[in-house]
Amino acid sequence: MDFTTFLIQILNAMQYGLLLFLVASGLTLVFGIMGIINLAHGSFYMIGAYLAFALTSMTGNLMLSIALGIPLAFAFGALLEWLLFSHLYKRDHLEQVLLTYGLILIFEELRSLTMGDDVHGVDIPAMFSASIPLSDTLSYPVYRLLISVVCLALAAGLWWLMQRTRLGMMIRAGSHDRDMVQALGIDINMLYRTVFALGVALAALAGMLAAPISSVYPGMGGSVLIISFVIVVIGGIGSVWGALVAALLIGFADTFGKVLVPEFAGLAVYLVMALVLLWRPEGIFRKG
Amino acid sequence: MAEMTTADLTVVAGASAAVPGEAMMVADKLTRRFGGLAANQDVCLTLERGKLHALLGPNGAGKSTCINMLSGDLPPSEGRILLGGKDITRLSAAQRSRIGIGRSYQRTNIFPGFTVLENCRLAAQSRNPRPWKIFTDALGLSDTVDRARAAIVEAGLAGREGRIAGTMSHGEQRQLEIAMVLATDARVLLLDEPLAGMGSEESAQMVELLKGLKKNRAILLVEHDMDAVFAVADTITVMVNGVVLESGPPEQIRNSADVQTAYLGEGHV
Amino acid sequence: MNPQNSSRIALVLKLVVLAGLIAFPAFGSSFYTEMVAKILILGIFAMSLDLLVGFTGLVSLGHAAYFGIAAYTVALLTPKYDPADLWLALPASVLAAAAAAFVIGLFVLRTKGIYFIMVTLAFAQMVYFIFHDTALGGGSDGIYVNFKPDASIAGWVPFDLNEPIQLYYFVVVALVAVFVFLTLVLRSPFGRVLVGIRSNEHRMQSLGYATFHYKLAAFTLAGGLAGVAGFLYAVLFGFVTPEYLSWHQSGNVLMMVILGGMGNLAGAVIGAFAFIGLQEMFSDWTKHWQLLMGGVIVAAVLFMPGGLSALPRRIMKKVNGERENG
């Protein structure tokens, strides 16, 4: 592999890993703070992608669609929390698995009913459709770079939110000690609703950003869900920082796995997870 | 009580003939740090056969940390634990149970959905588990069932074998907790506040039970109830802020100026 | 009703159902005979998972892996133009599934709770990709089992699996065998420990049990029994695809266990009937039947804790309660 190809693979790995981080960060927060295992989290990614497709066919502009889609996804998340997930906090993991599995079926069929079962493409916005030439024959698309930059900015924003804002303080307090949060006079229902909606919005945003490069297809939520699980397991439940490191690790494992051992490409990610389980069964960044 | 049957039990706990006063379990300079804070610092204890050793101290003195280290629920940062002269510091809780160390918990820790008999039967079965006998009815293994029944009687729960553990009174559940330890044929008993939350009548019963248990066993009793402690203890160790303040026979502790100022407070004696 | 009476009633009920299953081919069409055979196989699958979920307290979301591995084993053991030997293929399939469960169990049992659920799912997905991405079992197209295994022993043919009715009875016998086997295991010292682990694993450890070993044994055993189901499924339908080990399959069998009420072997079989029954009914109505299925599942969690097999008890309770009140 020459240097340019290598560079391109590195950029691809980062872009893929950072996109996964958007999905996994919401998942790990909901796990860590509310103790909920949410199998339907991958569906939010799928919904985001279809939302981008539907809105773009109406507005003709992906960026505008994303700007519209984020508040929609946030509101959808808040609604879902109010209707269903708020009833799950006191239930055991098995019932959470059951209900969220039922939700996957519902979301997939609703998608099938409203959007059909075809694979759709979403155009890359004209202003980002260029490629940066790296050698005579190889170039790197600007849109992929844009995804990485947006995701990095969001990661930084999330860090700022967690470390520097009152909401972040409440989230961190909530993941350590529920009683403490209530003793501080924080409205725990509102906190949970916000965190859940934030997680939905992040996953949907990942789906919207990914729509032009991965296309939009049925079942796209399932594979992303399982990869996100792997990331949460590696990073440690509730750790946003862990999710970032793990997502990048998985991005690299998957990308270079495909290049180096194409026959077993799908396995690389799981082998990484197996090794981490041997080393630290509670994840790399598991908090006390 | 049934005789011990498993080989590994006899190795450590029952190797020599029962000599009253023989040291069975020794804690040698146990230290446990949480972050920079030492919850236990150089704690030394000796548990002797036929004796009850009580561990006293105000809340936060480190009693729970100490018993957790002895039972294997918490690894010590430094120090050694010996059983019959052998170093067992690195053994897990399950391994310690198998060599004759039994533990009861401050917060009742039983199988609430099972009958009293099944709670004790599971405890007794751990001495001779025979997991490969997958076509044998567990209730047909009479050595296990007999030992469970004997433990139930010894703990004062005769006639309540069929009760669902979770539906019994708090005091009965505390007794069951002891019965389960007895059913494992433990020679060293680590009892974490067995009187917690008990009424006076139940407490009195438990004190009588504890007196009877001393014979042939070494007991560590962590307890808040002063009257009970002075009624049953042969040795008392007082801990304050993670260190041993004083250790000796009850009269010595009762008359110790240090203990009175540091722990018992004015007006108590 | 005292417990002795109710357990006698339960036994009678089971025997009646068994008699019904034995008589069924005489009345049902070949279509329904095959469907019942499929349900019974899934019942075996659900019972094997119930050993983990209902009795040991291990919520595995990757149980389809072992089902699928056994199915692929029989497919790969079947020569192109000949049947495989049943008495070789069946044990080989079950052993392959059990061996995979043992190895994966070594990893996943290091975790607990939510981690365990996620990690079992992830490992099953890994197995899925092994068969989906490589040419080993025909890739994503799957592989045919061209001939049903041959049951002959040294020239003597006790039964012929090519005969749908005989295959059906073979499945019934397997179901009864697995049911009896698990019933015996659960009342053995080993089974009692598993139930103890479900109730209070920490206390089991402090009583001296090496719970990891017990859980690993249960995981392996459950994997092997899922293999029995996977073997039968492959034989019944004559082909194997990666979908056999997809996470939807793992999810569906978990639904069966929960629908039937966990910790109840007969309930697991009832759950399989209920699940496939609903599936058939809904897909008769609409091609978007999963919407209804999802709705039923969500409603079941919200309004019906304890599953289907708890329903009679809950109704009895309600009736009795009203009688007492009235």
Of A93, A103, A229, the CB nearest to C113: A93
- Compute the count of residue pairs across chains A and C with CB atoms less than 8 Å apart: 127
**How many domains does the structure of chain C reveal?**
1
- Among the residue ranges B3-7, B192-196, C115-119, the one predicted with the least confidence is B3-7
**Between B20 and B123, residue with greater pLDDT:** B123
d(CA A86, CA C190): 39
- Token reading at A222: 């399932």
Q: Are A25 and A243 in contact (CB under 8 A)?
A: yes
Q: Work out the angle at residue C308's Cα, subtended by the Cα atoms of residues C304 and C313, and round it to the nearest 5 degrees.
A: 85
In this model, does residue A199 exceed pLDDT 90? yes
Tell me, yes or no, if A83 comes closer than 8 A to chain C by beta carbon. no
B98/C202 touch (CB, cutoff 8 Å), yes or no: no
List the single residue in C200, C206, C217 with the smallest CB-CB distance to B93: C206
Is residue A237 within 8 A of residue A32, CB to CB? The reply is yes
Strand, coil or helix: what is A135?
Answer: coil
A239 in a domain, yes or no?
Answer: no
Dist CA B248 CA B257 (whole Å): 13
| C-beta atoms of B94 and C209 within 8 A | yes
Asked whether the beta carbons of B174 and B196 are under 8 A apart, the reply is yes
Band (pLDDT 50/70/90 cuts) for residue C318 is: low
Q: What angle do CA B54, B92, B196 make, to 5 degrees?
A: 35
Contact B129 C199 (CB under 8 A): no
Per-residue model confidence (pLDDT) at position C258: 86
Please indicate whether, in this complex, the C-beta atoms of C204 and B121 are within 8 angstroms of each other: no
Answer yes or no: CATH 3.40.50.300 is held by domain B7-11+22-264.
yes
Residue B92, pLDDT > 60, answer yes
**Tokens in use for B5?**
């049957």
The CA distance from B10 to B60, in Å, is 37
Q: Are A94 and C53 in contact (CB < 8 Å)?
A: yes
Cβ separation of A263 and C133 shorter than 8 Å? yes
pLDDT tens-digit series, residues C217-236: 999 999 999 999 999 999 99
pLDDT at residue C66 is higher than 60 = yes
Do the chains contact at C211 and B136, CB–CB below 8 Å?
no
CB contact under 8 A, C115 and A110: no
Q: Rounded CA gap, B186 and B173, in Å? A: 19
Residue C306 pLDDT greater than 60, yes or no? no
Q: Taking CB atoms and an 8 Å cut-off, how many pairs form between chains B and C?
A: 85
> Residue B14: what pLDDT?
40
Instruction: Report chain B's mean pLDDT, rounded to a whole number.
Output: 86
| Owning domain of residue C204 | 30-288
Q: What percent of chain A has pLDDT over 70?
A: 95
Question: Torsions phi, psi of B148, nearest 5?
Answer: -60, -45
- Is the interface score ipTM higher than 0.90? no
Residue B9 confidence (pLDDT): 38
Find the CB nearest C297 among A98, A230, A281: A98
**Closest Cα partner for B225 from B260, B196, B252, B247?**
B196
Of A166-180, B25-39, C279-293, least confident by mean pLDDT is A166-180
Q: Check if C212 contacts B (Cβ < 8 Å).
A: no
Chains touching B by CB (3 or more pairs below 8 Å):
C
Residue where the block lists tokens 């804690």: B27
- Edge-first strand listing for the sheet containing B23-34: B37-48, B23-34, B78-83, B86-87
Residue ranges per domain, chain B? 7-11+22-264
Say yes or no to pLDDT of A234 above 50.
yes
pLDDT-above-90 percentage for chain C: 71
Calculate how close chain A gets to C108, using CA atoms only, in Å. Answer: 8
Give the model confidence (pLDDT) of A123-180 as tens digits. Answer: 888 888 888 888 888 888 889 999 999 999 999 999 898 888 888 887 777 666 666 6
Chain C residues with CB inside 8 Å of A84's CB? 298, 302
Residue B13 has pLDDT above 50, yes or no: no
The pLDDT of A66-91, averaged and rounded, is 93
Average pLDDT over residues C83-94: 95
Mean pLDDT for chain C overall: 90
Give me the mean pLDDT over the B59-63 stretch: 86
So what's the pLDDT on residue B61?
86
Closest Cβ–Cβ partner in C184, C193, C211 for B135: C184
pLDDT value, residue B5: 39
In this prediction, residue A166 carries a pLDDT of 83
User: Does pLDDT of C18 surpass 50?
Assistant: yes
Give the structural domain span for A130.
3-219
- pLDDT category at B88 given cuts 50, 70, 90 is very high
- pLDDT at C207 (0 to 100): 94
With a CB cutoff of 8 Å and minimum separation 6, the contacts of C44 are C174, C175, C178, C225, C228, C229, C232
Overall average pLDDT of the B158-166 stretch = 93
CA A256 to centroid of chain Cα atoms: 21
Q: Is residue C307 part of a domain?
A: no
Is C202 in contact with B132 (Cβ distance < 8 A)? no
Q: Tell me the mean pLDDT in the region B21-46.
A: 88
| Structural domain includes residue A282 | no
Residues 191-210 of C with CB under 8 A from A: none
Q: Indicate yes or no: CB of B133 within 8 angstroms of CB of C190.
A: yes
Q: Does C280 touch chain A (CB under 8 A)?
A: no
C312 touching chain B per CB within 8 A: no
Q: Is the pLDDT reported for residue A197 higher than 80? A: yes
Q: Which of A196-200, B165-169, C99-103, C302-306 has the lowest mean pLDDT?
A: C302-306
pLDDT of residue B1: 36
- DSSP per position, chain B: -PPP--HHHHHHTTSS---TT-EEEEEEEEEEEETTEEEEEEEEEEEETT-EEEEE--TTSSHHHHHHHHHTSS--SEEEEEETTEE-TT--HHHHHHTTEEEE-SS--S-TTSBHHHHHHHHHHTTS--TT-TTS-GGG-HHHHHHHHHHHHHTT-TT-TTSBGGGS-HHHHHHHHHHHHHHTT-SEEEEE-TTTT--HHHHHHHHHHHHHHTTTSEEEEE-S-HHHHHHH-SEEEEEETTEEEEEE-HHHHHH-HHHIIIII-TT--
Give the up-direction half-sphere exposure of residue A217: CA atoms within 13 A in the CB hemisphere: 9
pLDDT (average), residues B242-253: 90
Neighbors of chain A by Cβ distance (3+ pairs < 8 Å): C
C303 touches chain A (CB under 8 A): no
Whether pLDDT at B52 is above 90: yes
- Rounded CA-CA distance A12/A6 in Å is 10
The answer for A141, left when phi > 0, alpha when psi is -120 to 50, beta otherwise, is beta
Give the confidence band of C286 by pLDDT, cuts at 50, 70, 90. confident
- The structural domain count of chain A equals 1
Give domain status of residue C97, yes or no. yes
Statement: residue B4 has pLDDT above 70 = no
Q: Which residues of B, range 114-133, sit inside 8 Å of C by Cβ?
A: 114, 118, 121-123, 125-127, 129-133
Most confident of A115-119, A148-152, B127-131: A148-152
Predicted local distance difference test score (pLDDT) of residue A92: 84
For residue C69, what pLDDT is reported? 97
Per-residue confidence (pLDDT) for residue A176, from 0 to 100: 61
* Res. B19: pLDDT tops 50: yes
Q: Do C210 and B131 touch (CB under 8 A)?
A: no
Domain containing C152 — which CATH number?
Answer: 1.10.3470
- Reported as a pLDDT band with limits 50, 70 and 90, residue C273 is very high
Distance CA B243, CA B238 (A): 9
Give the three-state DSSP class for A116: coil
Distance CA C51, CA C49 (A): 5
Query: If pLDDT is split at 50, 70 and 90, which confidence band does C137 have?
Result: confident
Contact: C199, B112; criterion CB under 8 Å: yes
Q: Does C3 touch chain B (CB under 8 A)?
A: no
C31, two tokens? 């279509």
* Nearest C-alpha in C relative to A104: C294
At residue C5, does pLDDT exceed 90? no
The answer to whether residue A120 sits within a structural domain is yes
